[in-house]
């Protein structure tokens, strides 16, 4: 299967990329499983905290308020990442926003965010790979930095999935939340991003999708999220394992070299299964799905920032990021933090 893969080897005068700062933002409105149970009961749909936790590991999620857009969540996350990196908007020469819930059809959310940041003039575009969007975007930014097209990139995952949920379907609406996470990726003389591995298989479009579009001022099809949970689970576990092993091999590392695994925060059972396949103790698995739910492209940078600010992920740690989502897309990034 064709894939984009990069495994830089340290060479004199070579150019690499490293994460120099992280940031995240959650909308203030927090809904516990009990809150969701009450919300769904108004529609005559039964669920419970125990039912949700047992199947997903999720205990709460955050929903954006009316009038808040994807770029509004991305802005404080981006500012926090810039502050952590000791950079300002003037230093940024590339902005990539990974999202499936943009502010509008066009222009890109990245361009809207660029204006709000005051970073006008640099490259800015969106990345659409659903829950794999952040690892795709990080891989693209790494390639552009190593190729000399950029020196300081903002890579952001930002989502408002609460607006595309079917609240008559308890198997999906309890899973997702809203939020944003960001990193600053800068040119470096030493490798930070060690290897990447990206894939897609369009044969599985139907198992996770929002099968609607806009035409003539009207919505055609169904604008709400649809998912075949069992099919997604079975596919996700296998492809995440293969991507993990691919980046380790390309970087000349082994599972024993990993300090942290930060997978897409979709379902605790998928995450734990991935860790076990890599023979990693669950203590090396970063988990935020319990408090954030599945925030799609935002989930990995949200989890990374949470782990960095809590003091778990430290400079020099070897970290694997993994994403899997609709398309069907998947990928992994191995990095020295």
Cα-flanking dihedrals φ and ψ of residue 269, to 5°?
Answer: -70, -40
Strand partners, 19: 185
Between 3.40.50.720, 1.10.340.70, 1.10.260.40, 3.40.47.10, what CATH number should domain 9-188 receive? 3.40.47.10
Rounded to 5 degrees, what angle do the CA atoms 167, 173, 179 make? Answer: 120
Tell me the average pLDDT of the chain.
95
How far apart CA 48 and CA 98 sit, in angstroms, is 32
Average pLDDT over residues 216-238: 96
pLDDT band at 9 (very low <50, low <70, confident <90, very high): very low
Q: Is the dihedral of CA 90, 69, 100, 264 positive or negative?
A: positive
- 294 catalytic? Reply is yes
Average pLDDT over residues 219-248: 96
How far apart CA 177 and CA 26 sit, in angstroms, is 9
How far apart CA 242 and CA 138 sit, in angstroms, is 19
Residue 41, helix vs strand vs coil = helix
Q: Quick check: 3 pLDDT over 70? A: no
> Does residue 296 contact residue 306 with C-beta atoms inside 8 Å?
no
Q: What six digits make up the tokens of 336?
A: 């020295």
- pLDDT at residue 322 in the model: 98
Q: Quick check: 326 pLDDT over 70? A: yes
pLDDT band at 13 (very low <50, low <70, confident <90, very high): low
- pLDDT at residue 4 in the model: 47
Q: Quick check: 202 pLDDT over 80? A: yes
- 2 catalytic? Reply is no
Residue 322, helix vs strand vs coil = strand
Q: Do domains 9-188 and 193-336 have the same CATH topology?
A: yes
User: What is the DSSP code string of 28-60?
Assistant: SEEEEHHHHHHHHHTTT----HHHHHHHH---E
Average pLDDT over residues 15-34: 98
- 264 catalytic? Reply is yes
Catalytic pick from 131, 152, 173, 209? 131
Give the model confidence (pLDDT) of 124-182 as tens digits. 999 999 999 999 999 999 999 999 999 999 999 999 999 999 999 999 999 999 999 99
What CATH class is the domain 193-336?
alpha beta
Buried b (16+ CB within 10 A) or exposed e, 174-198: bbbbbbbbbbbbbbbeebbbbbbbb
Q: Quick check: 6 pLDDT over 80? A: no
Catalytic pick from 33, 69, 267, 294? 294
**For the chain, domain boundaries:** 9-188, 193-336
> Does residue 155 contact residue 23 with C-beta atoms inside 8 Å?
no
Average pLDDT over residues 311-321: 98
- pLDDT at residue 271 in the model: 97
| Torsion angle in degrees (nearest 10) through CA of 242, 304, 30, 213 | -50
Q: What six digits make up the tokens of 111?
A: 């361009």
Catalytic pick from 33, 264, 267, 292? 264
> Does residue 131 contact residue 266 with C-beta atoms inside 8 Å?
yes
Give the model confidence (pLDDT) of 242-287 as tens digits. 999 999 999 999 999 999 999 999 999 999 999 999 999 999 999 9
Among residues 274, 286, 267, the alpha carbon closest in space to that of 58 is found at 267
């Amino acid at each position: 299967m064709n894939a984009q893969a990069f495994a830089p080897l340290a060479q004199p005068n070579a150019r690499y990329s490293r994460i120099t700062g992280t940031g995240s933002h959650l909308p203030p409105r927090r809904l516990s499983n009990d809150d969701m149970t009450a919300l769904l009961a108004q529609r005559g749909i039964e669920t419970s905290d125990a039912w949700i936790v047992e199947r997903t590991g999720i205990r709460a999620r955050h929903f954006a308020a009316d009038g808040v857009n994807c770029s509004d969540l991305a802005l404080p996350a981006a500012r926090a990442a810039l502050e952590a990196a000791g950079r300002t908007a003037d230093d940024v020469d590339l902005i990539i926003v990974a999202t499936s819930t943009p502010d509008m059809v066009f222009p890109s959310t990245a361009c809207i965010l660029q204006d709000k940041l005051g970073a006008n003039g640099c490259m800015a575009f969106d990345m659409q790979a659903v829950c794999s969007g952040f690892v795709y975007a990080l891989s693209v930014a790494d390639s552009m930095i190593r190729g000399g097209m950029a020196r300081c990139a903002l890579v952001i995952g930002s989502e408002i999935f609460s607006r595309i949920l079917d609240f008559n379907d308890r198997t999906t609406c309890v899973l997702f939340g809203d939020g944003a996470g960001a990193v600053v990726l800068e040119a470096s003389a030493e490798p930070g991003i060690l290897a990447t591995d990206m894939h897609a298989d369009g044969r599985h479009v139907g198992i996770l999708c929002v099968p609607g579009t806009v035409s003539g001022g009207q919505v055609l099809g169904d604008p709400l999220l649809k998912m075949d949970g069992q099919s997604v689970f079975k596919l996700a576990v296998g492809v995440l394992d293969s991507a993990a092993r691919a980046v380790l091999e390309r970087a000349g590392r082994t599972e024993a070299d990993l300090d942290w695994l930060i997978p897409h925060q979709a379902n605790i059972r998928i995450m734990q299964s991935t860790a076990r396949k890599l023979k990693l103790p669950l203590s090396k698995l970063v988990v935020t799905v319990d408090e954030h739910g599945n925030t799609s492209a935002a989930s990995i940078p949200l989890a990374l920032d949470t782990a960095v600010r809590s003091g778990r992920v430290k400079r020099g740690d070897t970290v694997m990021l993994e994403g899997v989502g609709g398309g069907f897309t998947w990928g992994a990034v191995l990095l020295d933090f």
